[in-house]
A and B are shown apart, each in its own frame.
Chain A
Amino acid sequence: MMQTLARYVRLYLVQAWFAYRALFAWSTPFNYFVSKFGFSFFSMVLFVFMGRFVGLTDPVYIVIGNILLIPATNGVSGISMTVGNERQFGAMSYLLGSPAPRPPLFLGRALFHILDSFVTVAVALPVAILLFRLDTSETNFALVLLCVLVTSFTTSGMGFLMGSVSLVNRDGWMITSTLSLSLFILVGANFPVESLPEFLQTVSYSLPMTRGIMAARAALGGADWAAIAPLLAGEVLVGMFYVALGYGMFRVLERRSMVAGTLDNL
């Protein structure tokens, strides 16, 4: 029993490290930073000026929202790529042919992306607080960090789902990119979810990050654990649902590929 558990943990960690290195290790540090921050940072500045143009003079809401959205870069795009690239680089058949247990093999791909996005937000947020001279006298920093960690985890569910989609669809990356972009509208990064039309609010609350971002904003404003606990609980539930859906889809596709022998040939 203990031996099996140790094997699972070892496989999970090895898989996690190699999947992360495979995505970023070949890159130069400059390329890594630009790919992580480039689009997010300049989009945020663009939204700040769009907001200023329409009459929103305080950019803080947009800045904080976009920083809290950073985990989506790792969680959705990064994880989706680590799964989807297996097929593109011809490694899928080896993966499916290996006797390794699937949960650590599949779920391990998220670990370093979760840690990476957590550290990124944990660094970017204080910088924004200093730059914009935010009043943090009431902020509960431990709760803010907890919210960021939870959000980093929950976005990974969407990454697993999109990664599985990429395995069966050659244009999976296009779908993933569209989804990532639509988060600018849907999860309350640039404006409160209540500003959206009603049907989009329903979509918004069925996505990871929405409640996490709301909870982080509340914690930044000084809310205590009792106030944000329901939001975080909802965030974890939504995230778990997406992780289960992504993993379930991967297993279904794996079984189908064994029968039809198609997964690596698309």
Chain B
Amino acid sequence: MNARWLRLFWRQVDVQLRIRTFDPYSLLLFFLQPAIFSGVGMVLSRAAGQAQPDLVYTVIGGGMLGMWSGLVFTSTFDITRDRRDGTLELIVASPTSLAMVEAVRTFTNVVAGLASMAAAVAAAVFLFDYPLASVDLPGALVSLGMIVFGMWSIGVFLANFPVWSRITGSYVEFLEIPVALVCGFMYPIGILPGWMQAISTAIPIRWALEALDTALLGTGGIEYYLRQWGMALALSLLFWGLAHWLGLKIHDRIRVSGEMSAI
């Protein structure tokens, strides 16, 4: 059972990574768009009279934006492409559940998005001499792991919507910037108005990202980390639960209506 599962997992990761590698749109999502947003941040810093941009938020925050944008678009594009190519019915009807296919795909997409984060950190270190000595490395790595887990849970949840209907799926893409906005990808969340901060409390990425930013600045204590990671983990599990519930609902709907290729 385990060997079969691992084989399935590996084959899908392999195919998905190839798709991401050969799709030039990945280049835009993972590297070009975050670089442009970071670029705006850098020139704004310059216009504000600062000699150097804030590396944690402006540069490394761009990597976070790349991970998130990549996830939102790839998770929806994959299903949209399946619908267009006529393979969505085959996937839904195959013995491997759609939830399983989506989970592995989304996992691969999130992990591929780490390339964006790696590029941002490399830019901060090699172009701007970001001091690595002050970084709380274990804290940063665990926080990054929590971000990956949180994004994975949201990605699987969102991937249900394009299966549900084509038009619903197209709305999912518009979550890209609002989530980056309320979670404080490119600035400390404290500068947002209270109501925007309140919205972001429901998003696991926000908690893990705050922990990551603190770890990069090297200013966090263990209690702080545990609280942030605990919230991120709990909310991620909630999203997994919601994704499972939604997946079942949509499966039922597809079976009853039989309208999958038409909607």
Interface residue ranges, A against B (CB under 8 Å): 28, 31, 34, 38-39, 42-43, 45-47, 49-56, 171, 173-174, 177-178, 181-182, 184-185, 190-192, 195-196
B188: interface (CB < 8 Å): yes
Complex A-B: 20 CB contacts under 8 Å: A38-B174, A39-B176, A42-B177, A42-B178, A46-B180, A46-B181, A49-B181, A49-B186, A49-B187, A50-B58, A50-B187, A52-B191, A54-B48, A54-B53, A55-B50, A173-B25, A174-B25, A184-B37, A185-B36, A190-B43
Residue of B nearest to A181 (CB): B36
Chain A residues with Cβ under 8 A from B192's Cβ? 49
Question: Closest CB-CB distance, B199 to chain A, in whole Å?
Answer: 13
Q: A50-B186, A190-B40, A195-B46 are in contact. Are A45 and B191 (CB under 8 A)?
A: no
Chain A residues with Cβ under 8 A from B191's Cβ? 49, 52-53
A-B contact sample (20 more), CB < 8 A, given A42-B177, A51-B44, A54-B54: A31-B167, A34-B174, A39-B174, A39-B177, A42-B181, A43-B177, A49-B181, A50-B186, A53-B186, A53-B187, A55-B49, A56-B44, A171-B24, A174-B28, A181-B32, A185-B43, A191-B40, A191-B43, A192-B47, A195-B46
Chain B residues with Cβ under 8 A from A42's Cβ? 177-178, 181
Interface residue ranges, B against A (CB under 8 Å): 24-25, 27-28, 32-33, 36-37, 39-41, 43-50, 53-54, 57-58, 167, 170-171, 174, 176-178, 180-181, 186-188, 191-192
Q: A46-B186, A171-B24 are in contact. Are A178 and B32 (CB under 8 A)?
A: yes
Chain A residues with Cβ under 8 A from B167's Cβ? 28, 31
CA distance A181 to B177 in the complex (A): 13
Question: Closest CB-CB distance, A119 to chain B, in whole Å?
Answer: 22
